[in-house]
Amino acid sequence: MKKCLIIILACAMLLVGCGETDTTEKTKITFIHGWGGSSEIHARMRSIYQKFEELNPDIDLSITEYADASVAMDKADDMLSVGKMPDIVNTSGYASYARNAKKLGYAMDLSDFFEDNTEVADSLYEDAIDTLRMGNGRIYTIPDAIEVSGYWYNEKLFDAAGVTEVPGTWDEFFADMTAVDAYMKDEDLGSACCVESTQLYEFFLLADMYGHFSARDEASFNYGRTSGDTLFAVRNDLDRLLEISDTADNTAGARETFLSGGSAVYFNGIWESEPIDKADISENIKFAPYPSSDGKGLIYFSVSSGYVIKKQDDPKKEEAVQRFLKYMLSDDVQTQIAYETGQMPISKNVDLDKVEDYIPTLSAAIKVANTAGKRIRTLSSAWNQEKIDILYEYYESGSEDEKDAVYAADMINKTS
């Protein structure tokens, strides 16, 4: 009888045990981003985010997504204005959000995160973290990719014009482009370049300006200052460029002209790799750094605002959001960001051989960018808009009077 009772009790306990469910509560973190559009690249980025939750079943990643980054940031700004902030915000370059969140005391100071996770910090480009430090020397945002720009050229057209090496200095550049332009016109193909305003002012202008800088000029520029001599010299170079260029209404028009063989040079960034890779003439297209005064090359290397993390009181949530950062900055995910979205990752540990399997042009461009002797920020990330407006107004005026260059420089220097 006793044996029978023991068996019954054991079975009952077994049944109770089988009916138990895992009641472990997930740690919920909220996340806003602007990758909710219908494009293939947006879908790929969302897939990367979703994979995080699959790999971390103890975390509930509650995502609010918008089709456009500007809309996402408008919503995040609205929340911030009433004292609310998601646990993670992807600012997509909108630096004002990071500054405001820090000023209001909501943004997590990520400096300690990088000090505690040296393997993550060491995987990033050396100057990336320093670029993100705010006035107090601390870090409140980190992107998963960086903007890198030089120019694309058609190697076949260069060779046909007798240009067998990428020009190292600006004098070599203009001499080579004059030869390319003569060939293009002789063959009734087009011109050496096809440009529009963004390419001229956001890319060519500042790279050319650095070609005229002394060490003292460069230091002054970084503090928002310039000289009339520099502005006038660059104005003459803009004229030289336009003499060997056709013009387009927008970037898409300049790209189309380049990919159809109507120009030999296209000023734009590494992010153009995927459409270039799909073009019929892709095997002829190469990436190059801008010329520099020392001939070692110059690229735009813009590390802009990325993820802003809410300061956490709950240790579990703090660990969860930091786990998200580690995931996004991991070698595997950084490599995936490269071949899935065509961006240059912030990590220097990217598997370029794997990227080459998906987007050969991107892999090659990253390798070239890493050889450039100098990295600079874009004009829009180096100066405030008021200074930029004065600069653009001077160049768009078409003035050939050097006194107007001196006046423009004086106005720029007086603007805080």
Q: Which residue has the higher pLDDT, 85 or 11?
A: 85
Q: Give 17-33 pLDDT, tens digit per residue.
A: 454 445 578 999 999 99
pLDDT for 132: 82
> Cβ–Cβ contacts within 10 Å for residue 351, how many?
16
Q: Give 271-289 pLDDT, tens digit per residue.
A: 899 889 889 999 999 999 9
Q: CA separation (Å) from 12 to 7, 9, 299? A: 9, 5, 72
User: Hey, where are the domains in the chain?
Assistant: 27-142+304-345, 148-302+377-414
- The pTM score is 0.82
Angle 233-237-242 from CA coordinates, rounded to 5°? 150
Residue 341 has pLDDT above 80, yes or no: yes
CATH number of 27-142+304-345: 3.40.190.10
148-302+377-414 matches 27-142+304-345 in CATH topology: yes
pLDDT for 310: 96
Residue 8 has pLDDT above 50, yes or no: no
Three-state SS for the chain is CHHHHHHHHHHHHHHHHHHCCCCCCCEEEEEEECCCCCCHHHHHHHHHHHHHHHHCCCEEEEEEECCCHHHHHHHHHHHHHCCCCCCEEECCCCHHHHHHHHHCCCECCCHHHHHHCHHHHHHECHHHHHHHCCCCCCCCCECCEEEEEEEEEEHHHHHHCCCCCCCCCHHHHHHHHHHHHHHHHHCCCCEEEEECHHHHHHHHHHHHHHHCCCHHHHHHHHCCCCCHHHHHHHHHHHHHHHHCEEECCCHHHHHHHHHCCCEEEEEEEHHHHHHHHCCCCHHHEEEECECCCCCCCEEEEECCCCEEEECCCCHHHHHHHHHHHHHHCCHHHHHHHHHHHCCEECECCCCHHHHHHHCHHHHHHHHHHCCCCEEECCHHHHCCHHHHHHHHHHHHHCCCCHHHHHHHHHHHHHCC
Q: Could you tell me which of 269, 339, 304 has the C-alpha nearest to residue 40?
A: 339
CATH number of 148-302+377-414: 3.40.190.10
Residue 3 has pLDDT above 60, yes or no: no
Distance CA 13, CA 102 (A): 55
Q: Token match 């660990």: residue?
A: 319
Q: Determine the distance from the C-alpha atom of residue 410 to the mean position of all C-alpha atoms in its chain, rounded to a whole number.
A: 31
Q: Give 349-403 pLDDT, tens digit per residue.
A: 999 899 999 899 999 999 999 999 998 888 877 788 899 899 999 998 988 899 9
Residue 315 has pLDDT above 90, yes or no: yes
pLDDT for 206: 87
Q: Give 118-166 pLDDT, tens digit per residue.
A: 999 999 987 788 878 887 889 999 999 988 999 999 999 999 999 999 9
> Cβ–Cβ contacts within 10 Å for residue 326, how many?
13
